[in-house]
């Protein structure tokens, strides 16, 4: 009985280890610690694992080694968190079409190309980079590891005692302790995400960027997820409820408290959208091609519409033509041909648009497709698919 009381108290303590983060106050930026080194056995072990992962990442074929792109992202990070803090960060851009970024405890920051495709401007990028840096500065990986270890220890002992309990009521009590310990792991992770959000807002407050952008990211991600669900005949996710195994706060909750914080802060700032567009211009077509490979028609169509909020460019029109041609309904082929023509109208040198136009027309049994394909071959005589296209023309 004494052990049961101790275990119960321990489980309750685990659940309440991290107090709820106040959503109406922005924390002060912690004092900067230069050349921080891991302390204790736990942290040295976590860093060792991160060092090994970084060595593998450095040789990955998915890594984008563009010096200019990497230097630009570092510049945005430094403007967000300060030149002293960003000096020790090793930043890697990975060609992965999902919205994600993370930072490991040894100072490695990884940014997915899907994130770069989805953020609208520098301010939104700064908000996300600041969030990931906050995880690093607050040592969240170490604290999460230590909390998980304690919770799983209690869960294991509770499960063992439940198996040997003499009465159903006693066994049920131990099982509740086990469940509480497991739930505390995910609750702890959600609290850490809220802390990182708030510290990111503190970075934005001291930066030249507009903090109101942070909430907009989550609103668009909810809309994109809804579009994906529609296309796959799935139910829309509930963004206002916390699932038991959720590692992040509900998306609607995040958008709400970030918007409220920005309103209270009332800080004007810049977004540098033209600069962001210029820096990403060389890579946007490739990032769009990666997005098309996700086989997510509705979600991708929504994303293209968002990217075209200020007007449809040749690259966006071409990507939309590829999207509709890949689905391949007769009406899609007609729409794809129209998108390709509009892309060619803006960029007559876009040989791939002639290729897409020709293929869409041939599938619609339009003989004009041969002319478009011959134009493609004339513009790309060394095209890797030249032999196949020549066969189609003949």
pLDDT, tens digit, for every residue of 331-388? 999 999 999 999 999 999 999 999 999 999 999 999 898 999 999 999 999 999 889 9
Q: Which residues pair with 110 in a beta bridge?
A: 92, 102
Residues 178, 49 share a domain: yes
Residues 159, 57 share a domain: yes
Q: Which residues pair with 94 in a beta bridge?
A: 63, 112
pLDDT of residue 7: 40
What's the CATH code of the domain at 343?
1.25.40.10
Residues 224, 343 share a domain: no
For the segment 347-363, what is each residue's pLDDT rounded down to a tens digit? Answer: 999 999 999 999 999 99
Query: Is residue 277 situated within a structural domain?
Result: no
First to last CA, the chain: 86
Furthest C-alpha separation in the chain:
87
| Residue 320 contacts residue 357 (beta carbons within 8 Å) | no
Residues 300, 175 share a domain: no
Distance between alpha carbon 7 and the CA centroid of its chain, in Å?
38
Query: Is residue 50 situated within a structural domain?
Result: yes
Query: Is residue 21 situated within a structural domain?
Result: no
Residues 241, 125 share a domain: yes
Its domain, for residue 246, covers 27-265
Residues 57, 125 share a domain: yes
Count Cβ atoms below 10 Å from residue 66 Cβ, excluding itself.
13
Residues 199, 82 share a domain: yes
> How many distinct structural domains can be found in the chain?
2
Count Cβ atoms below 10 Å from residue 83 Cβ, excluding itself.
10
For the segment 11-54, what is each residue's pLDDT rounded down to a tens digit? Answer: 334 333 333 444 447 888 888 887 788 888 998 999 999 999 99
Q: Which residues of 354-393 are buried (b: 16+ CB within 10 A; e: fewer)?
A: bbbbbbbbbbbebeebeebbebbbeebeebeeeeebeeeb
Query: Is residue 279 situated within a structural domain?
Result: no
Query: Is residue 12 situated within a structural domain?
Result: no
**CA gyration radius, the chain:** 26
Instruction: Say if residue 120's pLDDT is above 50.
Output: yes
Structure-model confidence comparison of residues 309 and 172, the more confident one: 309
Residues 319, 388 share a domain: yes
Q: In what order do the strands lie in the sheet with 108-112?
A: 63-64, 90-94, 108-112, 101-103
Residues 92, 48 share a domain: yes
Query: Is residue 160 situated within a structural domain?
Result: yes
Residues 110, 247 share a domain: yes
Structure-model confidence comparison of residues 5 and 134, the more confident one: 134
| Residue 63 contacts residue 81 (beta carbons within 8 Å) | no
Query: Is residue 148 situated within a structural domain?
Result: yes
Query: Is residue 54 situated within a structural domain?
Result: yes
pLDDT class of 290 with cuts at 50, 70, 90: very high
Give the list of residues 6+ apart from residue 384 with CB closer than 8 angstroms, or none: none
Residues 258, 183 share a domain: yes
Residues 103, 221 share a domain: yes
């Amino acid at each position: 009985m004494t052990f049961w009381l101790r275990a119960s108290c321990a489980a309750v303590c685990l659940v309440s280890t991290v107090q709820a983060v106040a959503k109406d106050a922005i924390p002060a930026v912690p004092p900067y610690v230069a050349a921080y080194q891991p302390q204790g056995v736990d942290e040295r072990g976590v860093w060792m694992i991160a060092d090994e992962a970084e060595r593998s990442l450095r040789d990955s074929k998915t890594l984008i080694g563009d010096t200019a792109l990497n230097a630009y992202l570092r510049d945005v990070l430094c403007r967000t968190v300060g030149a002293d803090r960003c000096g020790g960060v090793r930043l890697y851009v990975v060609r992965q079409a999902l919205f994600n970024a993370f930072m490991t405890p040894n100072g490695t920051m990884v940014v997915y190309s899907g994130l770069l495709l989805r953020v609208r401007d520098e301010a939104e990028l700064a908000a996300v980079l600041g969030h990931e840096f906050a995880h690093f500065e607050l040592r969240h990986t170490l604290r999460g590891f230590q909390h998980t270890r304690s919770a799983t220890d209690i869960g294991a002992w509770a499960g063992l005692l439940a198996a040997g309990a003499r009465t159903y009521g006693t066994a049920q009590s131990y099982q509740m302790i086990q469940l509480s310990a497991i739930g505390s792991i995910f609750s702890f992770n959600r609290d850490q995400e809220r802390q990182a959000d708030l510290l990111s807002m503190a970075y934005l407050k001291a930066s030249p960027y507009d903090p109101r952008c942070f909430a907009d990211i989550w609103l668009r991600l909810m809309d994109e997820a809804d579009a994906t669900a529609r296309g796959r005949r799935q139910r829309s996710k509930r963004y206002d409820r916390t699932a038991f195994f959720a590692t992040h706060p509900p998306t609607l909750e995040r958008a709400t408290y970030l918007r409220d914080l920005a309103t209270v802060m009332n800080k004007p700032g810049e977004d540098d959208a033209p600069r962001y567009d210029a820096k990403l211009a060389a890579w946007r077509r490739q990032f769009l091609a990666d997005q098309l490979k996700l086989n997510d028609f509705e979600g991708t169509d929504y994303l293209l519409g968002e990217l075209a909020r200020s007007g449809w460019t040749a690259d966006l029109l071409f990507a939309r033509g590829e999207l509709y041609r890949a689905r391949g309904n007769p009406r899609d082929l007609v729409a794809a041909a129209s998108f390709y023509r509009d892309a060619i109208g803006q960029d007559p040198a876009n040989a791939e648009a002639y290729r897409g136009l020709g293929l869409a027309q041939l599938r619609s049994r339009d003989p004009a497709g041969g002319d478009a394909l011959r134009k493609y071959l004339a513009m790309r005589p060394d095209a890797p698919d030249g032999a196949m296209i020549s066969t189609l023309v003949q």
